Amino acid sequence: MKKTVILMVAVIMLTSIMVSTVTAETNVTVTVQGEIVDFPDARPFIDTNNRTLVPIRFISEALGARVIWDGDHQQVTITYENKVVKLVINKKEISINNQTQDMDTQAILKDSRTYVPVRFVSEAMGASVEWDNTNSIVSITLERDIVDLEGMTNEEIIQQLQEYPCIENYFTNRIENNEWMVDRYGEDKVKEFVETGKNYMETFYNVDYRTYNKAEYAQELKWFFLESSYWIGDDGIERDNEDHINYWADMITKKQIAIHTEFITDETCIYTNGDTMIRGRMNYIIESCNDMEWLKNYTRYGNVELGKKYTCVVDVEIANLARKPKEKWETAERLICDEHFITPIKEVK
C-alpha cells in the first residue's frame, strides 16, 4: 500500500550488466529467483553503454523494496532493509547509504517511464547478477532464506525488531524514539497509537471469504481511514478510501481469499520521523485464492505460495488527525497512511 503524498512505485529489482556483444535491439529476458519477469508495457533494453536498463516499477514486487520518485529533483530513492540507494536521472552516480560511487551509465526517462541500470541497483541491494550472452538473459538472485521463528518468544521478536534502523523522513530528516513519544503524549496515548497500527494490520489482512460479512468488514476498515483522502495500491491504481475498501472487500469473495495474519509489536516499537511509525513483525499465511497473479499485483503480500507461512518486518505509518472532520463515518484519532517494508517477505519453517 502507498502513501498518498508519495509516489510508491512497485518494482522488480534490476541491474545493469556489461554485454559487449548485444545490441540495443536485442530482446532481453529478466529472471528473479529463476522466474521470468513479465514486462507488459515497458521492456528492458541495452543502452549505448552496453548496460541493461529496466523499468523501475517492478522492483518492489520482487524485493519488497520501497521506491520514491522525487520529480522536482529527478531522483529515485530505493529503500531495502538497511540500505538507501539514490540515483538522479542522467547522472552517472549512485549513492548507497550516502556513499557515492561512479557508474558507467545512468538512470533515464524514456517514454515517460523511469529506467535504472540493473547491475548497479541490484548489487547495491545485495543481489547477485548473471548474464547469459547466448540467450540474452539477466538472472537476478536474492538471498531469501527460510526464517526459523520456532521457539522465539514475543519478547525475543520485539528485541529483534528494535535492531532494525528507523526510516528517515525525506522532508524532516529527524528521528525520535518511543521514550520521546511517551514524554510528549503519555503512556496511555502511545499504547492507543500502537493498538491502532496492530488492529489495522490484523483487520485488513485477517479475512476468510467463506465466513466474513462484507458490510461489517468494510465498516470495520473505514474506522482506520479518512474518507476525503485516497490510497494508491501496489497495482498503481489510485482509489479514494471508500472505493479502496469496497474494492478489496469485493475481491475477497470474487477471488476466494482467505488470509490469516498476526502482527507482533508493542509500545517500545513506536517512533516518529515527523509521522508516527509502528514497527511489527507480520506473520501470515494465504490459505486460499483462485487468482494469485491478481493478488500479487494488488499487494506485495500476495507474491507468495498458497498454504505456506511467511514473515516480514513492516512499519505501519499513521498520521495525526489535527481536527475532527465533518465526515460521514467515524475515524480514528490517528489514521493509517502507509505500510513500509523493512525486510523482504520470507518463508517461515
List the grid coordinates of 101.
560511487
Give 272-328 as a DSSP string.
ESSSEEEEEEEEEEEEE-S-HHHHHHH-GGGSS-TT-EEEEEEEEEEEE--S----S
Q: Which residues pair with 347 in a beta bridge?
A: 310
pLDDT digits (tens, 9 = 90+) for 13-62: 333 443 333 344 578 999 887 888 888 778 889 999 999 998 886 665 56
Which range in 17-26, 147-156, 163-172, 208-217 is most confidently predicted, on average pLDDT?
A: 208-217
- Residue 326 pLDDT > 70: no
- Give the contacts of 187 (CB within 8 A, at least 6 positions apart): 267
Residue 329 has pLDDT above 70, yes or no: no
Domain spans, the chain? 29-141, 154-347
Choices 3.30.1360.200, 3.40.50.300, 3.40.50.2300, 3.30.457.10: CATH for 29-141: 3.30.457.10
Cα(32)–Cα(46) distance, integer angstroms: 18
The closest alpha carbon to 319, from 204, 225, 179, belongs to 225
Q: Among 10-24, 101-115, 202-216, 281-295, where is mean pLDDT lowest?
A: 10-24
Q: What does the pLDDT read at residue 281? A: 94
Residue 17: partners with Cβ closer than 8 Å, 6 or more residues away: 51, 52, 118, 119, 129, 131, 138
Q: What average pLDDT does range 260-288 have in this prediction?
A: 92
With contact defined as beta carbons under 8 Å apart, do 161 and 313 qualify? yes
What percentage of the chain has pLDDT greater than the value 70? Answer: 81
**What's the confidence (pLDDT) of residue 24?**
46
Q: What is 154-347's CATH topology?
A: Nuclear Transport Factor 2; Chain: A, (3.10.450)
pLDDT at 63: 60
**Helices 214-222 and 241-254: angle between axes, nearest 10 degrees:** 150
Same fold, 29-141 and 154-347: no
Determine the Cα–Cα distance for residues 88 and 71; give it in Å rounded to an integer. Answer: 10
User: Do 87 and 67 meet the contact criterion of CB atoms below 8 Å apart?
Assistant: no
pLDDT above 50: residue 226 = yes
Specify the DSSP element, H or E, that contains 128.
strand 128-132
Dist CA 71 CA 327 (whole Å): 32
